[in-house]
Amino acid sequence: MQTAYFIGVDGGGTQCRTRLTNQNGDVLAACSGGPANIWSQFDSAMKQVCQLLDETLHAAGLGPHEAGQTHVVLGLAGGNISRVRAQAQTWPHAYASWQVFSDVEIACPGAHNGQPGAVLITGTGSQGAVWDGQQFRCVGGWGMSLSDQGSGAWLGQQALRLALKAHENLVEHTPLTRALMAHFDHEPETLLAWSVQATPAQWGQFAPQIFQAAREQDNHGVALLACCAQEVSALVSNLSQNGRYPVAMLGGLALPIYPWLSEGIQAMLVPAGGDALSGALRLAHLCA
C-alpha cells in the first residue's frame, strides 16, 4: 500500500499555519505564514496557502512526487462565503485530495476530538459552527455592520458609543466612559477621525478595559457585559440545540465572558480538546 500523508491548514485573518502528518498521525512538519482570508484577499490568500504547502512538504523532506499521496484540508477565514469557497475548492493543485472549509468549521472536529460538536469563537469577531459528524452549519461571521454580536470589536464599539453619549450628557459618565474618552483627549473629533479608519481589531482593543471596569462594578461596564453575555448565550444556545451538541468556546473573550454566563449556558460548554489544525487533519482522514 502506498504511503499517505495529510496536511491541515488553518488560515486566519492574521496568520496561516500548517501541520503535516503521516497515516499514523506522527507530525512530520509544521509551518506558519501570513494571513489567508479568501473573502477579503482571495489571490494573496491562495498564494500564501500554496507557498506554505510547498514549504511544509519540503520541511518534511517530501517533494512534488509525494504531493500526489497527500490529502489536504484547508480551513480558511472567509470560507463560509460559498462563492469564494467554491473558487478555492477548484484552485489547481497536485495533491491527492483538496477540501476547503472555513477556519471555524475545522475547529469543530478539533475541539471535540473527532466527535460531533460545536465551537463558538468570540475574539475580535464572533462566529460559530456545529458539526453533526457529516455536515457543518455556521452562525454569524457576517462582519461588524451586520453581525459579530458579543465579540470584542462589538463590545468596543458599544462602549465607545456610550462614552460619546456620556460626553454629551445623554447618559451618566462613569470611570469607564471617562477613561475611554480620555484615550481620545475627551475630543469627539479625535474619536471621529479614529473611527473612520478603525479596524475591528482596533475597536476590540478596548475589551480588556471594559472587563476590568465591570470587575470594579462600573455601572456601564456591568451593563455592557450583561448585554455581551446575553448575545453570547443566544449563540451558545443556538449551536447547542438544547444540549444536543457540546459547545467549545474559543477566542480571546471565551474565558473572560464565562463567569457572566448563566449556569444553564455554562452547562452547555465543554473545554476544547484539540486545536483547529488537529480538526483539519481529522477531516483530511475522513476525506481521504
What are the residues binding a copy of itself (CB under 8 A)? Answer: 81-83, 139-140, 142-143, 145-147, 149, 157, 160-161, 164-165, 168-171, 188-189, 191-192, 195-196, 198, 234-235, 238
How far is the C-alpha of 281 from the C-alpha of 279, rounded, in Å?
A: 5
How many alpha carbons fall within 13 Å on the CB side of residue 66? Answer: 18
Interaxial angle between packed helices 175-182 and 219-240, expressed in degrees from 0 to 180 and rounded to the nearest 10? 90
Least distance between a copy of itself and beta carbon 113 (Å): 27
**Which residue's CB is nearer to a copy of itself, number 83 or number 244?**
83
**Residues forming a β-bridge with 129:** 119, 138
User: Least CB distance from residue 182 to a copy of itself, whole Å?
Assistant: 16
Quote the least distance from Cβ 243 to a copy of itself, whole Å: 16
Q: Which is nearer to a copy of itself, 50 or 192 (CB)?
A: 192
CB 148 within 8 A of CB 140: yes
**Closest approach of Cβ 171 to a copy of itself, in Å?**
8
Given the complex with a copy of itself, which of 213 and 232 has the nearer CB atom? 232
Beta bridge partners, 198, equal: none
In the block, residue with C-alpha cell 473573502: 39
What is d(CA 45, CA 29) in angstroms, rounded to the nearest whole number?
A: 21
Nearer Cβ to a copy of itself (7/76): 76
CB of 173 to a copy of itself, least distance (A): 14
Closer residue to a copy of itself in complex, CB, 58/244: 244
Q: What is the DSSP letter of 267?
A: T
| Pick 11 or 140: Cβ nearer a copy of itself | 140
Among candidate residues 39, 40, 46, the one with its CA nearest the CA of residue 16: 46
Least distance in Å: CB of 1 to a copy of itself? Answer: 42
**In the chain, which ranges are continuous DSSP H helix?**
42-59, 64-67, 82-89, 103-111, 152-167, 175-182, 188-197, 200-204, 207-215, 219-240, 254-257, 263-266, 276-287
- Which residue's CB is nearer to a copy of itself, number 20 or number 160? 160
- CB of 9: closest distance to a copy of itself in angstroms? 23
Decide the pairing of beta strands 70-76 and 5-11.
parallel
